[in-house]
């Protein structure tokens, strides 16, 4: 039977089978209750007007609202939803049954999955700042039989239902900071799952509350539409060549003409001299590089590029959608594409400018250090703004408006 003639139930089962295989390829295991929820909820009812086969593509988000060219609301890709739900269940001792959950960023589909997971003794509230989104969520939830999910239209930067506490807060919009309301609305030991930007790179962090601070339990590579309302923080993009951009998210000041001039200079390539298997988590390496370079360079940025620019050899980034890069002492350096030999690969760096050899060598030295340390994963600590330096854990500090973030690393 072809996809075009398959029933929605059949498509849903195919989607979940693909998600399980995707988990296994990443070294993860899908929790049975998450699998059951994904097989139970009719995703097509949350994507009206979209072909059913498209609604059940496991790797694709369905855009539900745009403002000009900007996507402001979507039904997230199933692979990402499944991973975040797994993060939440793993971080909560005893899982999700009976829990009280607040979802920030509403489309309806994720809220219905959560409703399945918390069971009859739990509850789900979903909030969005956009009344069109919440009205649509109410209609879709009712059509799918989840009318007992509470839908609220509000800016979640401020407390929702003040005085109420939740076991889990799960955010389905890209955040730059963590407002105090998200911490105070959690019970002690409660969990916040949030796509948070650190050094311009987004990860879904599962963070457990411990008093006035949060400590991460897991993180996953992800991407989301940006937070709206009081929590908005604009990501700036600077074009430095045809199809090549720098992402600036922490107040960096970059002269695009200067970078354009550096890219016109000869490229120096350096290699770390390591042999790594395909399952190596390079997203962890990228945060390691950001943490190590943050105090060593003038400007830490993220390089992104169109495929045409990569094919033309203008740049050769490790990942064209976002690779750590740095500007320092008249030189531009970034993590380069991998060098594959059979089924293993080496890590490298490309540099342009007056100190290109030293800059590329410094970056690959940090790569070797990550491998020698056991390819450690990042751990994130979130503390209130104003916390004295002496009360911070040892690590790389990134100050936001509401909080002080500290990145540390632990061996796998």
The per-residue DSSP string of 67-117 comes to ETTEEEEEE--HHHHHHHHHHHHHHSTT-STT-EEEEES--SHHHHHHHHH
- 216 in the same domain as 241: no
Give the whole-angstrom CA distance, residue 92 versus residue 190: 7
CA distance 332 to 325: 7
pLDDT digits (tens, 9 = 90+) for 226-272: 888 888 888 899 999 999 999 999 989 999 999 999 999 999 999 99
- Nearest Cα residue to 177 out of 249, 92, 77: 249
Do 210 and 247 fall within a single domain?
Answer: no
**Residue tagged 């007007």 (tokens):** 49
Rounded to 5 degrees, what are φ and ψ at 78? -55, -35
Distances (CA, A) of 302 to 131, 237, 252: 34, 10, 11
Query: How many domains does one find in the chain?
Result: 2
Catalytic residue among 58, 73, 74, 76: 76
Specify the pLDDT at position 223: 83
246 and 187, same domain (yes or no): no
CB 359 within 8 A of CB 351: yes
Instruction: Report the pLDDT averaged over residues 41-54.
Output: 92
**Is 412 a member of any domain?**
no
Domain extent at residue 140: 64-221
To the query of whether residue 73 is one of the catalytic residues in this protein, the response is no
pLDDT: is 229 or 17 the higher one?
17
Asked, for residue 230, whether it belongs to a domain, the answer is no
Indicate the average pLDDT of the chain.
93
Identify whether 163 is part of a domain: yes
**Which of 382, 318, 376 lies closest to 346, judged by CA?**
318
The token pair that represents 8 in the structure block: 């929605």
Q: Is residue 8 a part of any domain in this protein?
A: no
pLDDT at residue 1 tops 50: no
For residue 70, pLDDT over 80 is answered with: no
Closest CA relative to residue 84, chosen from 191, 168, 194, 185 = 194
Domain with 322 in it: what CATH number? Answer: 3.30.310
25 domain residue, yes or no: no
Is residue 215 located within the same domain as residue 252? Answer: no
If asked whether residues 210 and 310 sit together in one domain, one would say no
Structure confidence by residue, pLDDT tens digits, 370-392: 999 999 999 999 999 999 999 99
Q: Do residues 263 and 177 both lie within one domain?
A: no
Give how far Cα 11 sits from Cα of 55, 191, 205, 213, 410, Å: 9, 32, 30, 42, 40
Are both 203 and 267 inside the same structural domain?
no
pLDDT band at 412 (very low <50, low <70, confident <90, very high): low
What are the tens digits of pLDDT across the range 130-149? 999 999 999 999 999 999 99
**What pTM was estimated for this model as a whole?**
0.94
Co-location of 198 and 333 in the same domain: no
Q: What pLDDT does 73 receive?
A: 59
Q: In the chain, what percentage of residues exceed pLDDT 90?
A: 86
What are 310-350's pLDDT values in tens digits?
999 999 999 999 999 999 999 999 999 999 999 999 999 99
Between the two ends of the chain, the Cα-to-Cα distance in Å is: 43
Q: For the residues 92-121, what does the mean pLDDT come to?
A: 95
């Amino acid at each position: 039977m072809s996809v075009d003639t398959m029933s929605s139930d059949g498509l849903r089962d195919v989607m979940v089978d693909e998600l399980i295989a995707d988990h296994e390829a990443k070294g993860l295991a899908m929790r049975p209750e998450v699998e059951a929820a994904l097989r139970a909820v009719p995703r097509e009812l949350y994507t009206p007007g979209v072909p059913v086969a498209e609604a059940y593509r496991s790797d694709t988000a369905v855009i539900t609202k745009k403002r000009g060219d900007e996507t402001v609301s979507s039904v997230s890709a199933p692979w990402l939803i499944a991973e975040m739900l797994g993060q939440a269940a793993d971080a909560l001792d005893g899982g999700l049954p009976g829990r009280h959950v607040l979802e920030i960023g509403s489309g309806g589909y994720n809220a219905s999955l959560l409703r399945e997971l918390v069971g009859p003794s739990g509850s789900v509230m979903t909030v969005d700042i956009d009344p069109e989104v919440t009205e649509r969520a109410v209609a879709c939830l009712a059509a799918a039989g989840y009318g007992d999910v509470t839908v609220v239209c509000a800016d979640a930067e401020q407390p929702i239902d003040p005085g109420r506490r939740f076991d889990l807060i799960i955010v389905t919009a890209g955040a730059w900071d963590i407002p105090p309301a998200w911490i105070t609305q959690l019970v002690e030991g409660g969990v916040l799952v949030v796509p948070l930007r650190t050094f311009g790179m987004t990860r879904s962090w599962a963070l457990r509350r411990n008093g006035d601070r949060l400590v991460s339990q897991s993180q996953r590579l992800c991407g989301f539409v940006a937070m709206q309302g009081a929590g908005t923080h604009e990501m700036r993009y600077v074009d430095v060549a045809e199809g090549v951009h720098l992402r600036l998210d922490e107040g960096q000041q970059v002269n695009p003409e200067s970078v354009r001039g550096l890219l016109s200079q000869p490229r120096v390539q350096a290699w770390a001299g390591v042999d790594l298997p395909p399952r190596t988590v390079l997203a962890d390496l990228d945060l390691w590089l950001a943490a190590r370079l943050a105090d060593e360079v003038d400007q830490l940025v993220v390089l992104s590029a169109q495929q045409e620019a990569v094919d033309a050899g203008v740049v050769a980034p490790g990942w064209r959608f976002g690779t750590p890069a740095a500007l320092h002492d008249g030189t531009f350096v970034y993590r380069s594409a991998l060098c594959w030999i059979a089924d293993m690969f080496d890590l490298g760096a490309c540099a342009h400018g007056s100190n290109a050899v030293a800059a590329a060598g410094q970056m690959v030295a940090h790569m070797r250090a990550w491998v020698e340390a056991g390819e450690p994963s990042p751990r994130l600590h979130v503390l209130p703004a104003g916390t004295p330096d002496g009360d911070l854990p040892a690590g790389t500090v990134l100050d936001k408006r509401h909080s002080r973030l500290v990145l540390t690393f632990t061996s796998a």
